[in-house]
Amino acid sequence: MRTSFLVFALMLSACDGEGSAVSVTGKAVPDFFPFDGAERSWTFESDTELEHRMVGVMNPEKELINDGATEVITVDYSLVCVDEDDTTCTGSDYRTVRMSSDAGNGVLLYGISVNGGDELTFDPPAVLGDRSALIDEEWVTETGGTTITSKFTGSEDCAIRWTDEWNDCIVLEIDDGGANTGIAGTIWAVASYNMVAMQIGADTGRWELSSATFVAE
């Protein structure tokens, strides 16, 4: 079950941690979570000193549902050793997510598995963002035995490992009511690139995009 709460803000005084003013412009959330192309991958590094980087790879096999109207995409995230010659470091599975992103249905999460474990399936899918979002809009989904709440807090500058020039990063705050689903936290996303930073649960530091690849179909 979904419930959408709209809050119309005439003035917003909130700022990010660097003091940058947050935009009050509504956003088409699916534009910030693209899964087109034959290949996509993302490499993230932590803003703290860790021995791993995180690599996300889009599975080229896309699942068609709703009579072919919706493409469900699988992205596998793994932890890879920064120093490949460090014999004390081992890589591991991190997250696998199944999502869709389109103008008709918004951004939906169908399932997530953590550290190579069994998938937690969301039926109905959890709504992470609608076709268009206003400041402080929330989407609440009761699914998978828990309640997932995603809140669009606005757009802001987001200096990350790759660049400090992006000034239109949307911010989603996701809460799972303490269910430890592996999705709760804060996500920053940029149009055409998808997620560019994430602070998930008890992770040490914030994962920040350092490079990305895209191959057209």
pLDDT of 139-182, one tens digit each? 999 998 999 999 999 999 988 989 999 999 999 999 999 999 99
* Mean pLDDT of the residues in the chain: 87
Cα–Cα distance for residue pair 153/136, rounded to 1 Å: 5
Instruction: Tell me if residue 31 falls in helix, strand or coil.
Output: helix
Backbone angles phi, psi at 209, to 5 degrees: -65, 130
- Residues contacting 38, CB < 8 A, separation 6+: 60, 215, 216, 217
* Predicted pLDDT at 23: 44
Which whole number is the average pLDDT over 35-59? 93
Domain boundaries, the chain: 25-215
pLDDT tens across 66-84, in order? 988 999 999 999 999 999 8
Cα–Cα distance for residue pair 29/21, rounded to 1 Å: 20
pLDDT tens across 79-119, in order? 999 998 898 999 999 999 999 999 999 999 999 999 999 99
Greatest CA separation found in the chain? 56
